[in-house]
């Protein structure tokens, strides 16, 4: 009994303890759930894509299985200096950004690369700007601060590039160890480290050696990365504009460097006693700007008009005229740096572009500079012309195709004597297709893609719209995917009737861009406006026997240019061959929607008649053979029944004849016996 009492007491004390542990665990789990980041909700198009293709979505590329590889930990500790350095680098790499990775083609990587390119352009311009004394005297410490900032961006860019994901057979690799190994084994690491050599220390002893920061220009591969990213993000027309911008920036950097070289050369030659016609720079070549104080409305015409009645040649009265206009004007003087830089840049542009309007050189040093600059200018100018010509030819390629198409259309309409109003309408339509990059067919544009990727694009563009149609509310996603692939694009001009009242209804229309209006008569008032994402005539793709609706009761008209996708009944019939259950479901749904819309009584019809309308020609033939075999079977059964009945009746007739014969014989025998 004592043991039983102790056991009972122990159990009573253990139950509250266990309950408290469970309660604490539940509170901890709830707290952890609150700290977890909220899951991102899929967009409607991504949800449709996931329903059709599974978990893979176009925005989420597959992840390589190598991401799950675990790198074995070190089993021994090294105490050498190199081992400590490697360990420090790895600790910085793995602890600085955590598990952060970045895809090279993402928007974040693009904007970061743009930031790096801005720092690169700054280094290009600030590399030789300290040739000018005013910049050195007024902006030395801001220049040092900007240099430190740009170097920090370069150093951080190394860490960012280490986290760039890579592709292995089309699969994304996010394993940090593999990403680090890939970056360390690349050639780009050498350039990234060389451009961070701390040469700025020398500038504190001799600031005139700013050219020593030329190592910062080894970051050039990142500029090429940015140009490639930009071309991938832009259309062909915008790519040409980006190429022109890139070319202008390169030309300006070259002009800037050459201007700094020219001014440095002028300093070595001496600029104190320079004449306006000298080859080297001189302040006498750049004058201030003089503005007149007289009103532009000539209210003070008497005070601001010099009497030139007795003036035959102005050269003789130049001093007198200067004295007259001097108190009636004011002079705006520019700083020495403005004069030095603008004049040097002007000389640089003339030399590199080989215009040849600068003063002649007067000594051997000037001749050498002019010859070298001219040769370099020929090379650069040829490159510029080639690049500009390439950009212009690419820019005019589409324009040439458009002009050729327009000329053919004009020749055809003129040859066929089409009226001017219709010719103008056709020309406007061709111009619209060119402005919106719709000269080529959509099927040809996507022909190079794999079928699955092409299907994903179609689902992303059309599935949301077609799934909203009441006819397909309960349809299978696989069936809707097959319908999406059957959509045909069609462009309609302003005022075009997409379909008219009274014509046979055999297609459904989806308005993708533009606006359309539903009208009752050809010139009747509009009934309803259809904008982007609206559908029209969805009941036309399914034949419902016994109900009206084989012809259009309303017309659909395009207000402006409308991009409409059409789904034909024949295409739906082809798809329904593989989905017999969807065929019956669509028939019932179409019947229900039709009756709800028209409020008419449903007539008794054979369901097989409606199914026949949704079959293809081959299926109809097969169905007819099935009906014929059934008819033959029924005829055979009827013939067999007829044979059995005829046999029975023949037997009964035979029995009756036998009975009649026997009775007649008996009657004759009885009569003979009586005689």
Q: Report whether pLDDT(176) > 60.
A: yes
Please check whether residue 430 is in contact with residue 402, taking contact to mean a CB–CB distance below 8 angstroms: yes
- Give the CA radius of gyration of the chain: 45
178-192, 314-328, 381-395 — most confident range: 178-192
Q: Report whether pLDDT(28) > 60.
A: no
Identify each DSSP E strand in 465-506 by its residue range.
488-492, 497-499
* Residue of 536, 493, 497 lying closest to 514 (CA atoms): 493
First vs last C-alpha separation in the chain: 131
pLDDT at 322: 80
Percentage of the chain surpassing pLDDT 90? 6
Q: Report whether pLDDT(600) > 60.
A: no
**What does the alpha-carbon distance between residue 164 and residue 272 come to, in Å, rounded to a whole number?**
55
Instruction: Assign 299 a pLDDT band (cuts: 50, 70, 90).
Output: low
pLDDT at 95: 67
Q: Kindly report, residue by residue over 422-473, the tens digit of the pLDDT.
A: 888 888 888 888 777 666 666 666 777 787 877 888 888 888 888 888 888 8
Please give the CATH topology (third level) of the domain spanning 463-615: Jelly Rolls (2.60.120)
Instruction: Assign 288 a pLDDT band (cuts: 50, 70, 90).
Output: confident
**Token digits of residue 485:** 């692939």
Q: Report whether pLDDT(5) > 50.
A: no
DSSP string computed for 242-280: HHHHHHHHHHHHHHHHHHHHHHHHHHHH--TT--TTSSS
Q: List residues bridging with 529 in a β-sheet.
A: 517
pLDDT at 119: 94
- The position carrying tokens 């009636």 is 328
Q: Report whether pLDDT(192) > 70.
A: yes
**What does the alpha-carbon distance between residue 217 and residue 367 come to, in Å, rounded to a whole number?**
30
**What does the alpha-carbon distance between residue 81 and residue 611 come to, in Å, rounded to a whole number?**
83
**Token digits of residue 54:** 């599974």
Lowest mean pLDDT among 12-16, 315-319, 494-498: 12-16
Backbone angles phi, psi at 510, to 5 degrees: -125, 120
Q: Where are the alpha helices (DSSP H) in 79-219?
A: 81-96, 107-126, 133-138, 140-162, 176-184, 188-194, 200-203
Please check whether residue 551 is in contact with residue 505, taking contact to mean a CB–CB distance below 8 angstroms: yes
Q: Report whether pLDDT(603) > 80.
A: no
Backbone angles phi, psi at 112, to 5 degrees: -65, -40
> pLDDT higher for 88 or 24?
88
Q: What is the mean pLDDT of the chain?
A: 77
| Cα 345-393-355 angle, rounded to 5 deg | 25
**What does the alpha-carbon distance between residue 221 and residue 233 come to, in Å, rounded to a whole number?**
19
**Token digits of residue 75:** 């089993």
Q: Report whether pLDDT(246) > 60.
A: yes
26-35, 310-319, 418-427, 430-439 — most confident range: 418-427
Q: Kindly report, residue by residue over 69-80, the tens digit of the pLDDT.
A: 444 444 444 455
- The position carrying tokens 């002019």 is 370
Measured from the Cβ of residue 582, the count of other Cβ atoms closer than 10 Å reads: 23
Kindly state the average pLDDT of the residues 78-84: 54
Q: Kindly report, residue by residue over 332-365, the tens digit of the pLDDT.
A: 877 888 888 888 888 888 888 877 677 788 888 8
Please check whether residue 126 is in contact with residue 147, taking contact to mean a CB–CB distance below 8 angstroms: yes
Please check whether residue 562 is in contact with residue 503, taking contact to mean a CB–CB distance below 8 angstroms: no
Instruction: Assign 112 a pLDDT band (cuts: 50, 70, 90).
Output: very high
Q: Report whether pLDDT(296) > 60.
A: no
Q: Kindly report, residue by residue over 134-145, the tens digit of the pLDDT.
A: 877 788 888 888
Please check whether residue 519 is in contact with residue 525, taking contact to mean a CB–CB distance below 8 angstroms: yes
């Amino acid at each position: 009994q004592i043991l039983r009492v102790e056991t009972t007491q122990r159990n009573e004390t253990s139950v509250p303890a266990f309950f408290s542990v469970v309660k604490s665990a539940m509170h901890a789990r709830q707290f952890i759930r609150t700290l977890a980041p909220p899951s991102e909700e899929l967009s409607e198009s991504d949800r449709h894509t996931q329903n059709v293709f599974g978990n893979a979505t176009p925005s989420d590329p597959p992840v390589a299985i190598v991401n799950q590889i675990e790198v074995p930990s070190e089993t021994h500790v090294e105490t050498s200096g190199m081992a400590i350095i490697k360990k420090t680098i790895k600790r910085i790499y793995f602890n600085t950004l955590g598990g952060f990775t970045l895809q090279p083609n993402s928007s974040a990587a693009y904007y970061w690369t743009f930031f790096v390119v801005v720092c690169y352009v700054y280094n290009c311009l600030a590399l030789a700007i300290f040739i000018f004394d005013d910049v050195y005297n007024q902006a030395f410490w801001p220049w040092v601060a900007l240099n430190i900032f740009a170097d920090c961006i370069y150093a951080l860019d190394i860490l960012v590039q280490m986290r760039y994901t890579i592709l292995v057979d089309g699969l994304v690799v996010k394993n940090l160890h593999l990403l680090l190994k890939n970056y360390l084994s690349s050639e780009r690491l050498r350039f990234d480290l060389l451009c961070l050599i701390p040469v700025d220390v020398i500038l504190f002893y001799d600031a005139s050696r700013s050219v020593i920061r030329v190592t910062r220009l080894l970051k050039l591969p990142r500029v090429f990365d940015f140009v490639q990213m930009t071309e991938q993000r832009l259309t062909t027309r915008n790519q040409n504009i980006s190429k022109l911008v890139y070319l202008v920036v390169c030309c300006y950097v070259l002009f800037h460097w050459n201007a700094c070289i020219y001014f440095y050369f002028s300093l070595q030659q001496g600029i104190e006693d320079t004449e306006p016609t000298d080859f080297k720079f001189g302040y006498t070549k750049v004058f201030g700007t003089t503005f007149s104080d007289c009103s532009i409305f000539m209210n003070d015409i008497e005070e601001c008009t010099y009497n030139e009645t007795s003036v035959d040649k102005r050269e003789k009265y130049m001093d007198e005229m200067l004295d007259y206009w001097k108190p009636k004007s004011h002079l705006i003087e520019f700083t020495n740096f403005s004069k030095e830089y603008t004049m040097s840049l002007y000389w640089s542009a003339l030399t590199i572009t080989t215009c040849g309007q600068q003063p002649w050189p007067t000594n051997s040093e000037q001749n050498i500079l002019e010859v070298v600059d001219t040769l370099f200018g020929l090379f650069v100018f040829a490159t510029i012309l080639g690049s500009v010509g390439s950009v212009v030819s690419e820019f005019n390629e589409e324009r040439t195709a458009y002009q050729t198409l327009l000329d053919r259309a004009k020749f055809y309409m003129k040859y066929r004597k089409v009226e001017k109003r219709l010719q103008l309408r056709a020309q406007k339509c061709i111009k619209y297709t060119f402005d919106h990059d719709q000269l080529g067919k959509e099927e040809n544009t996507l022909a190079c893609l794999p079928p699955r990727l092409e299907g994903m694009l179609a689902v992303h563009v059309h599935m949301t719209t077609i799934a909203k149609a009441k006819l397909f509310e309960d349809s299978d996603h696989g069936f809707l995917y097959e319908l999406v692939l059957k959509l045909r694009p069609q462009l309609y001009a302003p005022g075009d009737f997409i379909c008219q009242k009274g014509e046979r209804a055999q297609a459904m229309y989806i308005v993708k861009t533009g606006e359309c209006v539903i009208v009752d008569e050809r010139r009747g008032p509009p009934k309803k406006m259809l904008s982007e994402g609206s559908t029209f005539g969805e009941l036309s793709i399914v034949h419902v026997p016994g109900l009206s609706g084989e012809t259009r009761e309303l017309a659909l008209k395009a207000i402006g240019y409308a991009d409409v996708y059409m789904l034909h009944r024949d295409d739906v019939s082809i798809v329904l061959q593989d989905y017999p259950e969807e065929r019956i479901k669509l028939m019932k749904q179409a019947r229900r929607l039709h009756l709800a819309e028209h409020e008419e009584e449903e007539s008794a019809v054979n369901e097989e008649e409606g199914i026949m309308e949704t079959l293809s020609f081959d299926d109809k033939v097969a169905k007819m053979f099935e009906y014929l075999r059934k008819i033959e079977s029924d005829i055979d059964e009827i013939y067999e029944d007829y044979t059995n009945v005829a046999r029975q009746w023949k037997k009964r007739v035979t029995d009756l004849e036998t009975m009649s014969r026997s009775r007649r014989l008996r009657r004759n025998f009885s009569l003979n016996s009586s005689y």
